[in-house]
Structure 1
Amino acid sequence: MTSVRYAAFSLLGSLSIVAAILTLLYTTAAGALGKGSNPDCNSRCTNDSIVQPQLRLAPRQQMNFGAEVHTDFANVSVAEQVCDDEWLNVNDAEFGGSTCLQVKWAYLCGANFVNYMSTWSEKEQTDNPSSSTNLDDHPPVFATLDNNITVTTAWVDVHDVKTESDQDGRIVNNITIAVPHRGVPDAARSNKNVLQLDDLSNAGFYTIDANVASPAINALCVNANTSDLEPIIYASWPNARKFDNISDINRFWPIESFQDSNTNMNNHTTLDSVFGWQDEDKDRDHARPVFLKFPLGGNTIANHSSTAPGRAEVYLLSKHPENQTDDYFICSLKTGITNSCVTRYNASSSGQTLEAICGDRVQLDSTRDVDFKVTPEWRDIGFHLLNALSLNNGVFDGAASTARIFTQLQLTRRELSAKLPSPAEAFLSMATCTVLDLTRNFPFQPFSDNDQPGIDKAELQSFNASVRVAQYISGSDNRFQRIFLAVLVLTFAINLFILIYLGIVLRIRLITDLCEPIVLFLLGYHSDTAHLFRGLPQEGPHPNDYAVPWIVKRRNGQLVVVAREEADLVDGTEDANRSFQMRSRKGFVGVPGQDQGQS
């Protein structure tokens, strides 16, 4: 303590104490100043890094994106042409496009349906079934885009099954989903102001919340008995044609069945108010569907009969394979546009996701008030989907596998099942792939009826989005953390002072550590051990030799290892405290006035 009391008030003593304190605080200061970010720095900025950058989310930045869009995604001619151009040329001018779409969707949409059912299997094993009758507790409908982007939809305009069913005494399953805009990833990749995955060096990620319109799909499934359906079942009509074989059905239905008259499309049903059906001579876009016959259990039949060009829906009539209920169930499927959601795109080195964010999870612009705007003329697209999944094979009592699984989902109670998806959810999982496949150039904002460009004419359209990037950045989160800057500055100043003081002022060179084994070996090799060790060299050291005190001394201009009791004689006189300082070409420096290497 006495030495500290006197040394602490010297220049070097004070600096030593300060250096010790800074050593304790340096790690804390480096961590505190490495956890923040500069709020004025945009997503491409490298930030004002101080020390120890850490992976962190920067503040959200508002940015503009843009890309070329087209006006329509429900035009079957354009869809067939695009698919046929990407397809192997098999010289099938008449059916090449439709065949291409159906083969592609048989794979994509079928895989979506299988994966969705698998998700329910996992849910049943991990969750409590008693708490999953609410739609919000059900797994969302999802799909895969370009084999590397997971797409997750969101429920919108949710209708409670029990409430809807009580109105007409029948089970009504009405569900709408919003599909994220698939053009957002392409717009993000083409924007040079956004960090890309290559820029992140396999670390970090970025999130884009795009204020764009979202495609939407609605599935409405209703249980109905035989009397409800007879007015729209062709086989139940008084003058219905009888078919002797499948070839007659294939030729007649629906090509020849309605060539002469569509009067039977005006048969009123108890389902008119549920589906909004009208007489065809009043509103052809909402005319009633007509099915060939009642399907057998485990079969589904589509309505390929309507000739109305503006109809937006396709319909599917189904029956449970085990006949657990006498009712059939009929489902409609239609697409549209919703402005009540945003599209969130997440990109990282571990994968990419695209999801629709709706409801309370997002704040929308007050001008975006379009809940669901139906896309007309989607019927032909829907027909390709139903044919691709063999959902019309019930016309021939085909008993397709997909149809059997689908019909097993028929609701028998006025609530959603806790263990299985509802028919509407399953139908939506099949249809999601068609929307994703056809909406690459889907408008970011809906066109008005007066400014829609031609289908073949591309138009540049922009949209606003908030971008948040997670990358290695530095800075301070709070103002009080900036006090640690003093620690960093003083640490740098003391290190700089030591460098100047020792290297320039004192000109102290590097010294060799005599205690290193290799140095001691060389010293011992050149030393006379006659008085240090009493045994023979070939015998090695004896146990008593380890207790012999030794010291490094200089004799005749050379450092040697000798016994402690030996005196260093110079000119015949004893000089045990003789100072020495040896300088060699290798920069070795002894310590003046002291013996070295004592053990």
Structure 2
Amino acid sequence: MEKDTPHSAASPSAGDAPYLLPSTFSPWRNHEEFVGEDNISIAPSNDERRSSSIETLRGYPPPHADETENSRPPVFQQSSFFRSSKAAGTQSEDEELMLRPDDHGMQPKTEVVITAGDSTQEKRGATRRTRFKEMLSRSLSATLLNKNESSPPNGNYDSIGEEPPAAAMHHRTESYPMQSVDLPRVVVAEERPSSSDSDDDIDLDGLAARYERPPLDCHARQDVYVKRRSWTYIVLAALSVYSTLLSGLWFVVSIVQPRYGKGVSSNENIRISPSTATLICTLIAKTIELSFVTVFVAFIGQVLTRRAFVKKAGGVTLAEMTMRNWVIQPGSLLTYWEGIPFAAPTLLGMLTLIATVCAMFYTTASDAMVSPKLKYGGWESRSLDGLVKASYANPFHVQKACLTPIDANLDDDSAAESCLDIQYSGQSYHNLFTFMGEWQAIHSNKTSTMDTLSSRPVGKHNLYDNTTMVSSWIETGPGNPQAAFAIHSRVINNVTLAMPHPGIYTAATDPKNEILQPEDLAGVGEYSIHASVVSPAVNVLCANMAADELAPLVYTRWPDARTEDTDYPSQKIGVEDWFNDVPPPTENQWLNRTAADDVFRWGPKYQRRPPVFQLYPIDYNMITNTSVAESDAIYILAKSGNVDDYTLCEMRSWVTPKCSTQFDLSGISGGTIRAHCEDQSDKDSYIAGSGNDDVNDPPYASVDWRNLADEWRLSMDLNGGVQNNNASNARIMTNFILEKPELNPLLPSMAEALAVLASSTLVAGSLSSTFRQRWDYQEMDMADGVYESFHVSMRTQQYTSSHVQAWQAVFYVVLGLVLLINIACLLYILFYRTGLVSDYTEPQNLFALTLNSPPSAALAGSCGHGPDSAEMVVPWRVAYSSTANHYFFEEACDCRKLGMQDIHTHQSFASGAELLSPHSRSSAKNFDNYKRLSGSKTWL
């Protein structure tokens, strides 16, 4: 029994003028054979013929004509592109829709739905309206109404219902007039037993509603081109310019390695602190990295998207699309590695790998090469200014410089002298103790061969408790005892010790010279100075003499000497005023001649008077003489218990031009000042580098130093042998007296020990003294002082944009490659192409385009876990339907050429019902997992 439905087709009359609805994916096809000027012919479509052939081949009998024409549901009626409507002259519902105003909308009344329920029921879907349908219907209705043709058919689309149960298992075909779908899709419908799991599962009807019908409503709202005035292009171009300029600046800075001086310092008065400078550099480097990644990912997207549009190109593969993830997520190289073997060997793939490595290490490279860090610069030649207040060894200035709270109001007579005695005593004994400590290690080792003066330990002195002054032995030629013995036939111990000029410390720390101090560099800064200044020196000349040879110099051996006995048996001593018996100095009075006049340069030949002593000291004792008129020396007479001879020592001091002063100051290890002497290659010695005209002047022994030394020997009671006090200092010194004409490699000599003991006087006499060999000022002691300039070679630590270790130069490659890639991307964006295109590698764009593209057998089976390696290399291109104004993905070549499964296999052309049947659900586990996931809760 036939039942009329709203969708039953009436036979078109000769006067009817039906219209055609095109497919969204293809232009109108075969409309010429249906619509003519005067008649209409209805013929079975190609799809109908193919459907009939497939059913015949599968063994199903063709449906009877009398049963299928009217009684079969519309889904099995082979529909053409149009249908006749109701009686002529009656306005159909579709015509009413076409005549509606624009704001009312126009939607098809029903949606294609496959139902598994009652065959007599029709499932109504939500009506949908597209811009394309509205324009098409409006244009067609206007054409048809102008010709006064018959009304349009009853509906825009064929309604598709459920097949009768008798034919439920029959395979049937459905054909859509789509140019992009060339093969019929074979739909296999099977009955599935109901299950409690079906509530969470997607049944056949739902799956068919999602996948059986191509998207007909995607009418592109905008063109794929992104214009230059668009916000996207402006931002991308700005990021590219920023990244290029800043990466170029970073690369140049890493090469130039600028030094920031006081611009970056921990001093509160400085503009930028080191931590702030490092933070700023790291922040800028991070912005360069982020902008570089953004621009390069956009560059990849532009290249791949444009290639996807080019028909002659090979298309774009999923492996190539994943390259953008390498840069954004470098870890994806390990987690999603399937596409790497296919994408990496390409030119774009290799470039992407390089960009990935550069992006990963750019901030690290910036920290190693650009972030400010303390580093030594090169040696530079400049002048420093030092404050000078007095001549060398000026005793009055030295006394005033001694720090004591006792002023003239408390002790006008001896306040300064008492302070100076404490200073001398403390510093001198400290220096001697340090010196003996070095020798103790040598003596205990018993393996020393240091028998030449230049190789033996030197004296050290502490300046301001934070700087160590290291002396140097000079004039080592005359200091050879063997050579002296060959000349004078006696044991002679002659040494000269030069100390560095302590005024360098004051000049280096003077703000006038603008040298960054360690406290300005977070307490860890350093600098080195080689100054062309004079060095104070002390000479100690000791000679072993017999008692008879000393008789002209010992008062108790003089004729008519006034003596008295001592506590020591057979020892005589001059009376208290014995010095009154010594002849006063006159023009021709040089006192007695001795066998050692040429050794000590006494007598008329040298215009120098010898000393006179009150008595002979007993063993392990010393006596001194500092009262020789117009003398520049002090004398010490000592007696060792190991030899029969007495030892007479002369001590003098002067400033020498043979040295340079080297000052190294560190915020961690403190300061060190060294005297670097008698080095012919030293360009910073006073002789070579000062440029003064007094470099050739002979050294003049300082008379003032003799006055300092007098106070110095009183502070330590070096004259204790007069009372036979057996002082410890005298016993130590006399144990160092040479017994034979050679230096003991395991012990210091007495001359060496005395020089070290007296080194404190050199430091005290040099503070605030001149840096030159000659005194050129009228006043010997200037309260305010004057600044003297002197030449130095110096290198300083400053915060510098540079690498510290040599191996860190490898980061030049990272900085350089980022700059080159930025330049290439900038040129591509600004000049190579006019504007941009929509980036279909962006997730949102890729999702929209893929969702509105026809299904493909090339990715069959990948909906769960994702594509495999073989599917990663399937090329795709972007196709376009001008009729529907629709973009979509399609395969760029035959998948079978790439080793993919045949698209004509059972699973490739099945509708999906077979895969969802209970028999094909290997799927029980997959479904359980899906059910568990779909029923779980989300927290973020």
Which TM bucket (shorter chain)?
0.7 to 0.9
1:383-431 deviations in Å (ceiling 9; x for gaps): 1111211110111112111011001100011111111111111011111
C-alpha deviation, 1:491, in angstroms:
7.5
Q: Which residue of 2 aligns with 1:206?
A: 527
Find the partner of 1:17 among 322, 335, 353. Answer: 353
Q: Which amino acid aligns with 1:154?
A: S
Q: Which residue of 2 aligns with 1:536?
A: none
C-alpha deviation, 1:81, in angstroms:
4.4
| Long gaps (5+) in structure 2 | 1-318, 320-337, 568-572, 829-835, 846-923
Is the 1:161–1:414 Cα contact (8 Å) retained in structure 2?
yes
Find the partner of 2:381 among 57, 62, 75. Answer: 62
Find the partner of 1:168 among 488, 500, 504. Answer: 488
Q: Which amino acid aligns with 2:543?
A: V
Find the partner of 1:292 among 608, 611, 614. Answer: 614
The answer to which of 209-218 and 355-364 deviates more is: 355-364
Cα distance in 2 for partners of 1:563, 1:253 equals: 123
C-alpha deviation, 1:504, in angstroms:
13
Q: Which residue of 2 aligns with 1:375?
A: 702
- Is 1:566 paired with 2:931? no
Q: Which amino acid aligns with 1:489?
A: L
Percent identity, please. 27
Q: Which amino acid aligns with 1:299?
A: N
The 5 A counterparts of 1:357-376 are 357-360=676-679, 362-363=682-683, 364=685, 365-366=687-688, 368-369=695-696, 372-376=699-703
Find the partner of 1:486 among 775, 793, 816. Answer: 816
* Structure 1 residues 470 and 76: CA distance shift in structure 2, 3 A: closer
| Long gaps (5+) in structure 1 | 35-49, 510-561, 570-575, 589-599
Q: Which residue of 1 aligns with 2:731?
A: 404
TM-score, scaled relative to structure 1: 0.72
Q: Which residue of 2 aligns with 1:75?
A: 394
What SS is found at the alignment partner of 1:426? helix
What SS is found at the alignment partner of 2:519? coil
Is the 1:386–1:392 Cα contact (8 Å) retained in structure 2?
yes
- Is 1:273 paired with 2:603? no
C-alpha deviation, 1:136, in angstroms:
2.2
- Is 1:442 paired with 2:769? yes
* Structure 1 residues 503 and 297: CA distance shift in structure 2, 3 A: farther
C-alpha deviation, 1:209, in angstroms:
0.6
* Structure 1 residues 502 and 54: CA distance shift in structure 2, 3 A: farther
C-alpha deviation, 1:104, in angstroms:
2.2
Cα distance in 1 for partners of 2:503, 2:646 equals: 39
C-alpha deviation, 1:128, in angstroms:
2.1
Cα distance in 2 for partners of 1:277, 1:73 equals: 25
Q: Which residue of 2 aligns with 1:531?
A: none
C-alpha deviation, 1:372, in angstroms:
3.4
Cα distance in 2 for partners of 1:359, 1:29 equals: 46
Q: How many residues align?
A: 495
Q: Which amino acid aligns with 1:205?
A: E
Is the 2:390–2:397 Cα contact (8 Å) retained in structure 1?
no
Cα distance in 1 for partners of 2:532, 2:560 equals: 55
The 5 A counterparts of 1:491-530 are 506=842
Q: Which residue of 2 aligns with 1:140?
A: 458
* Structure 1 residues 413 and 502: CA distance shift in structure 2, 3 A: farther
- Is 1:183 paired with 2:519? no
Q: Which amino acid aligns with 2:537?
A: A
* Structure 1 residues 437 and 394: CA distance shift in structure 2, 3 A: same
Q: Which residue of 1 aligns with 2:417?
A: 98
Cα distance in 2 for partners of 1:65, 1:339 equals: 18
C-alpha deviation, 1:193, in angstroms:
2.7
Is the 2:539–2:755 Cα contact (8 Å) retained in structure 1?
yes
Q: Which residue of 2 aligns with 1:454?
A: 780
User: Which structure is higher in strand share?
Assistant: 1
Q: Which residue of 2 aligns with 1:109?
A: 428
Q: Which amino acid aligns with 1:113?
A: L
The 5 A counterparts of 1:422-441 are 422-441=749-768
Q: Which residue of 2 aligns with 1:241?
A: 562
Q: Which residue of 2 aligns with 1:347?
A: 665
**Bigger radius of gyration:** 2
What SS is found at the alignment partner of 2:426? helix
Cα distance in 2 for partners of 1:434, 1:260 equals: 29
Is the 2:404–2:419 Cα contact (8 Å) retained in structure 1?
no
The 5 A counterparts of 1:22-33 are 22=358
Cα distance in 1 for partners of 2:374, 2:403 equals: 46
Cα distance in 2 for partners of 1:97, 1:250 equals: 31
Q: Which amino acid aligns with 1:120?
A: W
Cα distance in 1 for partners of 2:706, 2:930 equals: 110
- Is 1:356 paired with 2:675? yes
C-alpha deviation, 1:24, in angstroms:
8.6
Cα distance in 2 for partners of 1:301, 1:488 equals: 80
Cα distance in 2 for partners of 1:437, 1:261 equals: 30
* Structure 1 residues 173 and 10: CA distance shift in structure 2, 3 A: closer
Cα distance in 2 for partners of 1:214, 1:411 equals: 28
* Structure 1 residues 503 and 176: CA distance shift in structure 2, 3 A: farther
* Structure 1 residues 563 and 178: CA distance shift in structure 2, 3 A: same
Higher RCO (C-alpha under 8 Å, 6+ residues apart): 1
1:4-62 deviations in Å (ceiling 9; x for gaps): 5654588974553233454698699669xx5xxxxxxxxxxxxxxx4366654321112
Cα distance in 1 for partners of 2:433, 2:709 equals: 19
What SS is found at the alignment partner of 1:227? helix
Cα distance in 2 for partners of 1:251, 1:264 equals: 24
Cα distance in 1 for partners of 2:837, 2:494 equals: 82
Q: Which amino acid aligns with 2:493?
A: N
Is the 2:556–2:562 Cα contact (8 Å) retained in structure 1?
yes
What SS is found at the alignment partner of 1:402? helix
Cα distance in 2 for partners of 1:89, 1:501 equals: 92
Cα distance in 2 for partners of 1:85, 1:25 equals: 60
Is the 1:173–1:221 Cα contact (8 Å) retained in structure 2?
yes
Cα distance in 1 for partners of 2:584, 2:682 equals: 53
The 5 A counterparts of 1:513-592 are 564-566=926-928
C-alpha deviation, 1:568, in angstroms:
6.4
Q: Which amino acid aligns with 1:252?
A: D
TM-score, scaled relative to structure 2: 0.47
Is the 2:550–2:594 Cα contact (8 Å) retained in structure 1?
yes
- Is 1:195 paired with 2:516? yes
Cα distance in 1 for partners of 2:458, 2:584 equals: 45
Is the 1:183–1:441 Cα contact (8 Å) retained in structure 2?
yes
What SS is found at the alignment partner of 1:332? strand
> How well do the aligned residues superpose, as a CA RMSD in angstroms?
4.1
Is the 2:590–2:603 Cα contact (8 Å) retained in structure 1?
no
1:501-534 deviations in Å (ceiling 9; x for gaps): 999994879xxxxxxxxxxxxxxxxxxxxxxxxx
